[in-house]
Structure 1
Amino acid sequence: MANRRSHKKTSRGKKVFRAILIVILILVLAIIGAAVKVYLDVSGSADNAYENVDRDNSRNIDFSQEEPFSILLLGIDSGDLGRTEQGRSDTLMVATVNPKEKKSTLVSIPRDTYVDIVGEGKQDKINHAYAFGGAAMAMDTVSEFLDIPMDHYVSINMQGIKELVDAVGGVDVNNDLEFTFDDYTYDFGKIHLNGDQALGYLRMRHDDPEGDYGRQGRQRAVVQAVVDKALSLSGATQYRSILDALEGNMKTDLSFSDMRNIAVDYRGAFSNTEQLQLQGEGFTQDGVSYQRVDENELQEVQSTLQDQLQQ
């Protein structure tokens, strides 16, 4: 919105970034003294979630050498509400991590951003890239848009989000906008959400004065609440339910070995995280609404991310 800053640094960035690597942070149980059975369960879940992508311009990151890397987080609008199609990536966030500088950067990209869809030969909303060509096309499109290499991805669908919220016993959030959506009423103030209620809370945007930016704020609040509970003692004892929620609903091209190395060797970078929010100017074309990011703002963010990925 016009009154918001285009991007800002926040102490909450560390917790938001954890959301992208939530499975990695859960997997650390296997490293810090969990029983052999836990290790095997976690390793098996990581193997089930693994899905490689076929891309011509991918880099081979050596995590054992603590090389900086980028990762794309995709929240897919399928897997629940009767939606079984490929789906679109209604949540897009990019993280760059540099362990040697002990710094990471997280960028949120509006779903309606008007970009060149790499591999389709046309311009469209950035969230359509996943619908057209899965994680590979989404990674290539975001890579070109931000002018950085896109090394890895993690995607999770709506069913996974719902089951994850239920697996941790629901979440508490501070709601700053009272509204009704999908037969649920969300009162002002602190509220408790189960999985179904969380989905409605995350999906509503048309009645929000801040539109998709307001929805992105609610997404970050729910993700933060899930992470806090998952990493608490009660969350750890429910690891099997958490893994069950992720299995079948999450995909990533990070191997279990990659996740283990990141959890052990990249922790220092998580303590100094800058959060950026790209903002666009709305316009309509052929009856469809889009967002166009200011070129100067885009170049500034591109430069920040490029510097972050330097050795």
Structure 2
Amino acid sequence: MNESRTNRNHKKPKKRRWLKITAAVVFVLIAGIGLYAYSIYGNARDTVNEEMHEPVDSIDRDMTKKKMEASEPLNILLLGVDEREHDSGRSDALMVLSLNPKEDSMQLVSIPRDTRTTIVGEGFEDKINHAYAFGGSDMSVATVENFLDIELDHYVRMNMEGLNELVDKLGTITVDNEIAWQDGTYDFNEGPVEMDGDKTMAYVRMRKQDPNGDFGRTERQRKVIQGIIEQGASVGSVGKINDYIDVLGNNMATNMDFDDMKSLLNGYRNTRKNIASYQMKGSGTNIDGTYYLMVPDEEIAKVHGMIKKERS
């Protein structure tokens, strides 16, 4: 009996030792995961706040923060800019993205780049995409606000060349293509088309084979934006986050800081469940040898109402 008790006493320390080792391994794993997550968080915060954050005078930052805290609808100006060396660039794509968290809805309205309107800060009429060349993102925001009589809460400017790299980091995106065409390198069939970065750039830049010209090109730009939103929201690999951040840091600018982006992610993520899109319409004309798109007042009033409704 004494011998049995002695054997049991010898076994207990061995079990406790293994428990301690297991606990230590678990602790190291948790600590490692925590440090990795913090490094991703830190890199994201620093990249956004130090490389991407560009405030503009035309947007009331304090008012926007209050709206986000209350989960109110937001309007975001998306600028796709073609910037090259020794060129101030022009906004190749202009879209107003309206987010309504109460309805879990998102609306994307395209403004044709040749639209003739008053350039705020310059005082004369010109193509709306020239506002960026004259005064950067700030003048673009002010001009779009004046044109549609709306209030913008944020802007996001993306170098169009950066779309190539971003799509490649995401893997691929898929769009619902409406017309079949070829460009000598790629075949674009009707229906769902899966694209990498290079194919995406060919898709958004084609105009000559599209019977709708620049209107068709703008429609494809909207489809690509939607594809990026869908794919970006579905990617679950944490290991790729820093890759995305690096691409965006090199190609994107916004008046949002890191805290704003967190609030947008937490409070507005479900708006992608119901996506609607619209393209402003008008008629082309030549003035002093330059082509413009003249958007009638009725069309401007219609889009103004659509955006206001999304905010209600």
**TM-score, L = length of structure 2:** 0.78
Equivalent in 262, 266, 288 of residue 264 of structure 2? 262
Task: Give the drift of 1:226.
Answer: 3.1
Identify the residue that residue 188 of structure 1 maps to in structure 2.
Answer: 189
Identify the residue that residue 69 of structure 2 maps to in structure 1.
Answer: 64
Identify the residue that residue 177 of structure 1 maps to in structure 2.
Answer: 180
Distance in 1, matches of 2:279 and 2:241, equals 32
Q: Which has the larger radius of gyration?
A: 2
Residue 95 of structure 1 aligns to a residue in which SS? strand
Identify the residue that residue 54 of structure 2 maps to in structure 1.
Answer: 51
Opposite residue 54 of structure 1, the aligned amino acid is D
Identify the residue that residue 138 of structure 1 maps to in structure 2.
Answer: 140
Q: For CA contacts below 8 A with separation 6 or more, give which structure has more relative contact order.
A: 1
Identify the residue that residue 285 of structure 1 maps to in structure 2.
Answer: 287
Query: 95-104 or 115-124, which moves further after superposition?
Result: 95-104
Task: Give the drift of 1:161.
Answer: 0.7
More helix by share: 2
Unaligned runs of 5+ in 2: 1-35
Change in 2 beyond 3 A, CA 1:271/1:291: same
Query: 295-304 or 260-269, which moves further after superposition?
Result: 260-269
Distance in 1, matches of 2:259 and 2:236, equals 26
CA shift digits 1:79-125 (9 cap, x unpaired): 5xxx4522111111112334345544321111111111111111111
Q: Do the aligned residues in 1 keep the contact of 2:76 with 2:97 (CA within 8 Å)? A: yes
Task: Give the drift of 1:50.
Answer: 0.6
Identify the residue that residue 240 of structure 1 maps to in structure 2.
Answer: 242
Task: Give the drift of 1:188.
Answer: 2.8
Identify the residue that residue 229 of structure 2 maps to in structure 1.
Answer: 227
Residue 209 of structure 1 aligns to a residue in which SS? coil
Query: 51-60 or 243-252, which moves further after superposition?
Result: 51-60
Unaligned runs of 5+ in 1: 1-33
Distance in 1, matches of 2:126 and 2:182, equals 31
Residue 149 of structure 1 aligns to a residue in which SS? coil
Distance in 2, matches of 1:224 and 1:237, equals 23
Q: Do the aligned residues in 1 keep the contact of 2:60 with 2:153 (CA within 8 Å)? A: no
Change in 2 beyond 3 A, CA 1:66/1:126: same
Identify the residue that residue 157 of structure 1 maps to in structure 2.
Answer: 159
Opposite residue 96 of structure 2, the aligned amino acid is V
Question: What is the RMSD computed on CA atoms of the aligned residues?
Answer: 2.5
Q: Percent identity?
A: 39
1:198-209 to 2 correspondences below 5 Å: 198-209=200-211
Distance in 1, matches of 2:59 and 2:97, equals 21
